Structure 1
Amino acid sequence: MTFDDVRKIALTWPEVEDGTSYGTPALKVRKKMLARLKEDGDSLVMPDVPIDERAMLVESQPKIFYFTDHYADYPIVLIRLSKAKRAIVEPFLRRRWRGLASKAVLASYDAREGA
């Protein structure tokens, strides 16, 4: 995957917009970060991943999931996009989007999608 692939997925959801964060391309929902490209150009900074879940991901799939000392105390996981497939990345994006989108937008989206 690439960040362009991530963009194509996320921009289909209401309230998602392009932006920047720390000088890198980012996706935002209502001015809050959905995800951003790390400075290395290959890793997705994925917020809102509990530290215990992150530990399990890093242990079970270290080629895809990792974190640096900088993120050690934060609920963030880094995803190597060049090693990841859509089936791995999309659920993280969707969960984060659902946590940021307005209740009205989610209700409308769920009704339209039949969720």
Structure 2
Amino acid sequence: MVDEHDVRRIALSLPETTEKSSYGTPGFRVKDRLFARIREEGDVLVLFCADEGEKRGLVDAEPHKFFTTPHYDGYPLVLVRFEAIDVAELTELLTDSWRLRAPKRLVSDFDG
């Protein structure tokens, strides 16, 4: 299980990431584009997906880990339960979301 400290540490280790409140909770941005946010519950993370198809695939494959709410219908955002993932998976999920939101040149430099 991960916690807010893990999210913050991993997110801020990604290039040009800053923390800025989003809807009153910790949000993480790359070049001022939100890529992750801890929800009000404190144990759920909001992340970007490539598209709604990917979101649906994640939710259908592992509903104990990934879910959504009507608020996120129509958006490529998925919710992740802290209790269902470990640090390695959190790192992968945050990095994937960061890649989707970061400028292409920054992603290229990161992959360099």
Q: 2:105 & 2:68 partners in 1: Cα distance?
A: 34
| Structure with the greater alpha carbon radius of gyration | 1
Q: 1:56 & 1:18 partners in 2: Cα distance?
A: 29
Q: 2:111 & 2:87 partners in 1: Cα distance?
A: 21
What is the aligned length? 111
Q: Using structure 1 for the length normalisation, give the TM-score.
A: 0.84
Runs ≥4 in structure 1, deviation > 6 angstroms? none
Contact 2:48–2:100, Cα closer than 8 Å, also in 1: no
Gaps of 5+ in 2: none
- Structure 1 equivalent of residue 32 of structure 2: 31
- Structure 2 equivalent of residue 91 of structure 1: 92
Q: Using structure 2 for the length normalisation, give the TM-score.
A: 0.86
**Shift of residue 98, structure 1, vs aligned partner:** 2.2
Structure with more contact order per residue of length (Cα contacts < 8 Å, sep ≥ 6): 2
Q: 1:28 & 1:83 partners in 2: Cα distance?
A: 24
Identity %: 37
Q: 1:99 to 1:60 in 2, by over 3 A?
A: closer
CA displacement 1:7-49 (0-9 Å, x = unmatched): 1112112100111101111111111101001111111011234
**Shift of residue 52, structure 1, vs aligned partner:** 1.3
Contact 1:3–1:44, Cα closer than 8 Å, also in 2: no
Contact 1:9–1:90, Cα closer than 8 Å, also in 2: yes
